[in-house]
């Protein structure tokens, strides 16, 4: 059985930075993630804005700028990066710092006895347990806490991000207002912000399908990149 002092759930920039911090302090740490790649909101939800206050900002920018079309827009306050460049940059950062990680796993339950704590997960190897002393959820979507029905911040809204195969910025959809429309070298980037329904995951799937259908019907525009989940906006 694997045993770690700290398990960090999520492969967001904050989670990777914390895993590196603990490793540098000699703390045996494992980084877990549902998806098979790092990046959090930037790669899972395509919300690929990064600003100077973000974790790993300098390291991500220094790597991303070496990729063709890695940086799509730059302003004083933030940069819009290609999600793939963030993914590749964070992989490189993790490897440079020898971060222990295990991806493609789903948390099932927490088990405890008098002196030990275990996180039961399901992965490619099937169901297994990992012993730990401290468990931290640093995912951008509080996935571990939500999956295990632990206390989370209320979800007040969702943001849906897309890259579209177009350079036009004058489109509009009935009852849907895009908060952000940015033309880039790989297509136009759009963000749609919605107040949360009772089931935000169903809301995301229904809205995404509707947006894709309407964009094609009205403008013959298709998405180039589709998010696997929304950005969850918390209180």
pLDDT of residue 1: 75
One domain for residues 85 and 177: no
pLDDT of residue 67: 86
- Mean pLDDT along residues 39-49: 95
Find the CATH number of the domain harbouring 47. Answer: 3.50.50.60
One domain for residues 126 and 163: no
| pLDDT bucket at 83, cuts 50 / 70 / 90 | very high
Find the CATH number of the domain harbouring 171. Answer: 3.30.70
One domain for residues 137 and 113: yes
One domain for residues 30 and 75: yes
One domain for residues 181 and 70: no
Residue 153 has pLDDT above 90, yes or no: no
Choosing from 88, 123, 147, the residue where a domain stops is 147
Choosing from 89, 118, 147, the residue where a domain stops is 147
* Global confidence as pTM: 0.92
What secondary structure does DSSP assign to the chain, as a single string? -EEEEEEEE--SHHHHHHHHHHHHTT--EEEEESSSS--THHHHS---EE-TTSTTHHHHHHHHTTSTT-EEEE-SS-EEE-HHHHHHHHHHHHHHTT--EEES-EEEEEEE-SS-EEEEEEETTEEEEEEEEEEEE--TT-HHHHHTT---PPEEEEEEEEEES-------BTTB-EEEEEEEBTEEEEEEEEE--SSHHHHHHHHHHHHHHHHHHHH---EEE--SSPEEEE-
| pLDDT bucket at 115, cuts 50 / 70 / 90 | confident
- Mean pLDDT along residues 144-167: 92
pLDDT of residue 69: 86
The total number of structural domains in the chain stands at: 2
């Amino acid at each position: 059985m694997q045993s770690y002092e700290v398990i960090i759930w999520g492969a967001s920039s904050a989670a990777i930075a914390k895993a590196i911090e603990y490793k540098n302090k000699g703390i045996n740490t494992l980084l877990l993630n549902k998806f098979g790649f790092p990046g959090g909101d930037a790669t899972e939800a395509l919300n690929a804005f990064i600003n100077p206050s973000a974790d790993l900002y300098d390291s991500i920018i220094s790597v991303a700028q070496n990729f063709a079309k890695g940086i799509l827009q730059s302003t004083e306050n933030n940069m819009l990066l290609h999600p793939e460049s963030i993914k590749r940059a964070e992989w490189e950062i993790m490897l440079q710092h020898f971060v222990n990680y295990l991806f493609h796993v789903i948390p099932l339950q927490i088990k405890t006895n008098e002196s030990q704590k275990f996180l039961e997960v399901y992965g490619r190897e099937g169901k297994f347990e990992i012993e730990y002393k401290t468990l931290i959820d640093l995912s951008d979507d509080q996935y571990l806490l939500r999956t295990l029905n632990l206390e989370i911040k209320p979800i007040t809204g969702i943001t849906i991000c897309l890259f579209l195969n177009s350079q036009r910025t004058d489109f509009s959809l009935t009852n849907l207002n895009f908060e952000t429309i940015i033309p880039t070298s790989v297509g136009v980037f759009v963000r749609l912000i919605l107040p949360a329904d009772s089931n935000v995951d169903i809301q995301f799937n229904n809205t995404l399908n509707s947006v894709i259908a309407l964009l094609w019907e009205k403008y013959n525009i298709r998405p180039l990149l589709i998010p696997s989940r929304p950005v969850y906006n918390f209180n």
